[in-house]
A and B are shown apart, each in its own frame.
Chain A
Amino acid sequence: MNLALIIIFATIILSSILGIYAGRRVKMNLENWTVGGRRFGIILIWLLMAGEIYTTFTFLGASGWAYSKGAPTFYILIYGALAYTFSFFVLPALWKVGKRYNLHTQPDFFIKRYDSRYLGILVALIGVVCIVPYLQLQLKGLGLIVEVASNGAVNPRIAIGISFVLTCAFVYTSGIRGAAWVAIIKDIMMILAVFIVGIGVPYIYFGGFGKMFRTLIEKKPDFLVFPGSAPEMDVLWIMSTLLVMGLGFYMWPHVFGSAFSAKSAKVIKRNAIIMPFYQIPILLIFMVGFTALLVIPGLKDGDMAFMALVNKTYPSWFMGFVGAAGAVTAMVPSAILVLFASTQLAKNVFKAGFKPQMSEEKVMILSRFMVLVIMIFALIFAIFFPNELVPLLIFGYNGVSQFFPGVVLGLFWKRVTKAGVFCGLIAGVGVVLILILGNRDPFLGMNAGFVGLVVNLLTTVLVSLKTKPSTGGFR
């Protein structure tokens, strides 16, 4: 057993113990489990939201795109800043209705605002379909990171299996509070790893990032402007993608739901102000990808650039540290994803669709059970069919962003109606599916999700204006 392995497994196990401990003195009912009793102050909210935006995809994908595509990777740095600006204006209003009507999930919002459980069921199902591939991606990333970090000593399936059991355990016992506490370890380790490697490698190989950039520009003059080396990702694609992701980030069911756990609207507003600072480490992740391109060109899989360069540059115990950081970086978002997917299935699909008289305690028991079901489902895909869900993954962001009109207009425009949102959602999701499945993404140079969102917004507004006004369950 080498040092790297010990560091990885000790981190995974200690984080999970912390996660289980987090819920120890809290009486677990649905309110405490899903939204932390609406008592989170700025630190827990910050940890939670940072846990959601910084996933293994950020780790591997941002450096991977810097390595293989060049400038298009910059969108990852930008969209968070847009999403937080959006949240500054929209989330406080959302939090207030969440508090007033005791909402736990995104479908809860639709059910209350539009007074329609069928709309709620539709929203819940679309949400879960988007979440599962995202969850699988986290598990797959975790397996890859641990495999490379342990120098092949740990089979990725074993790493995925162990962290899956532990993540289930702390979600089961502590709910969202567990995820927020584990995020403490995750954030400290990840920021340390990113700063050490991101500042370290350009300095070690080139004496600084300025010289590294100059070398890169000499070799590949167009690599650092759009579209880099990905012709289909020109500036129009970047702009449309940024709008979809900036406006769509808070439409992810788990991100949306975690806004309810804040203790006041003011906490959310303050959090929105400080969050963009947390984007800065992404710049350092890019540096690693660019340096890797110059130092170890020709990797088969660009997403492994970060790990491969760390492996070449640093001693193996540090590899273990990075591997451990990567593993908890997968566990935190996985926990939040599975928490909200299972609550939605239990509360908004099963209860709303089949057993309207079900008590909240029973919903809670069913939600906990669904945690296992969804995790096993994602685990099977991660291990046996790692590539089957890739098209769904592309659908994910584009799919959830279609909730935007229903949420934002529902909050700020009294005239929007159930029929409008229903038609808009179907139209938007339909357009996205047709474009993706028909291989027409990008469409006229634009992101398919953006095209869907425009169609969706127009449909929602036009149909709403033609139907009888109603604010549903909102006063």
Chain B
Amino acid sequence: MRKGTKLALILGCIPFITLVFALPLVNRIEPMILGLPFLLFWIISWVILTPLILFVAYILEKKFNPPEEGDEK
């Protein structure tokens, strides 16, 4: 596997870890942050962070993966 793909995949695991596997740990109301119960705050934060994580993954893929034959420029 190419290095960029590997790094991107590691980043791609983050939403699954935070938004699925971490749920039992964050299933509570206090502390309330920005008026939101903690569970909802946690979820919305990671949903908003997901595009940023994917953006970094995109940059890393571009940087470390040499363009393949057939890839568009």
Q: Mark B3-41, 1 if CB is under 8 A from A, else 0.
A: 000001100100110011101100111001011110110
Give the complex CA separation of A116 and B29 in angstroms: 52
Contacts beyond the supplied A264-B72, A269-B58, A283-B40: 9 A-B pairs with Cβ under 8 Å: A78-B47, A85-B12, A85-B54, A96-B70, A210-B32, A213-B32, A225-B39, A277-B51, A283-B44
Give the complex CA separation of A96 and B39 in angstroms: 39
Indicate if the CB atoms of A276 and B37 lie closer than 8 Å.
no
Closest B residue, CB atoms, query A238:
B23
Indicate if the CB atoms of A239 and B20 lie closer than 8 Å.
yes
Contacts of A264 in B (CB 8 A): 72
Q: Which of B23, B40, B70 contacts A224 (CB 8 A)?
A: B40
Closest A residue, CB atoms, query B36:
A213
Interface residue ranges, A against B (CB under 8 Å): 71, 74, 77-78, 80-82, 84-85, 88-89, 96, 208-211, 213-214, 217, 221, 224-226, 235, 238-239, 242-243, 246, 264-266, 269-270, 272-277, 279-280, 283, 286
Check A217/B23 contact, CB under 8 A, given A224-B37, A273-B54: no
Give the complex CA separation of A208 and B34 in angstroms: 11
Q: Which of A74, A81, A266 contacts B40 (CB 8 A)?
A: A74
Closest A residue, CB atoms, query B25:
A235
Contacts of A211 in B (CB 8 A): 35
Contacts of B34 in A (CB 8 A): 210
Indicate if the CB atoms of A280 and B47 lie closer than 8 Å.
yes
Contacts of A242 in B (CB 8 A): 19-20
Closest 6 CB pairs of A and B: A210-B35, A276-B50, A273-B54, A224-B37, A81-B50, A276-B51
Q: Which of A82, A225, A286 contacts B20 (CB 8 A)?
A: A82
A447 to chain B minimum Cβ distance, whole angstroms, is 12
Indicate if the CB atoms of B44 and A82 lie closer than 8 Å.
no
Q: Is chain B's interface secondary structure helix, strand, loop, or mixed overall?
A: helix
Give the complex CA separation of A191 and B58 in angstroms: 28
Indicate if the CB atoms of A81 and B35 lie closer than 8 Å.
no
Check A217/B46 contact, CB under 8 A, given A82-B20, A225-B27, A272-B54: no
Most chain A C-beta atoms within 10 Å of own C-beta, residue among B15, B19, B29, B35: B19
Indicate if the CB atoms of A235 and B23 lie closer than 8 Å.
yes
Q: Is chain A's interface secondary structure helix, strand, loop, or mixed overall?
A: helix
Q: Which of A96, A239, A275 contacts B23 (CB 8 A)?
A: A239
A457 to chain B minimum Cβ distance, whole angstroms, is 16
Closest B residue, CB atoms, query A80:
B47
Check A71/B39 contact, CB under 8 A, given A276-B51, A279-B47: yes
The total of chain B residues at the interface (CB under 8 A) is 35
Indicate if the CB atoms of B51 and A208 lie closer than 8 Å.
no
Check A85/B35 contact, CB under 8 A, given A235-B24, A235-B27, A273-B58: no
Give the complex CA separation of A208 and B39 in angstroms: 19
Indicate if the CB atoms of A85 and B16 lie closer than 8 Å.
yes
Check A225/B19 contact, CB under 8 A, given A81-B46, A277-B48: no
A-B contact pairs, 29 of them (CB 8 A): A77-B44, A78-B19, A78-B47, A80-B47, A81-B19, A85-B12, A85-B53, A88-B8, A88-B58, A210-B35, A210-B36, A211-B35, A213-B32, A213-B36, A214-B32, A224-B40, A225-B28, A226-B23, A226-B27, A235-B24, A246-B20, A264-B72, A265-B71, A265-B72, A266-B72, A275-B51, A276-B50, A277-B48, A283-B40
Q: Mark B47-66, 1 if CB is under 8 A from A, else 0.
A: 11011011101100000000
Indicate if the CB atoms of A88 and B12 lie closer than 8 Å.
yes
Give the complex CA separation of A81 and B12 in angstroms: 11
Contacts of B20 in A (CB 8 A): 78, 82, 239, 242-243, 246
Give the complex CA separation of A88 and B44 in angstroms: 20
Give the complex CA separation of A172 and B15 in angstroms: 39
Contacts of A239 in B (CB 8 A): 20-21, 23-24
Give the complex CA separation of A422 and B43 in angstroms: 37
Contacts of B57 in A (CB 8 A): 88
Give the complex CA separation of A275 and B48 in angstroms: 10
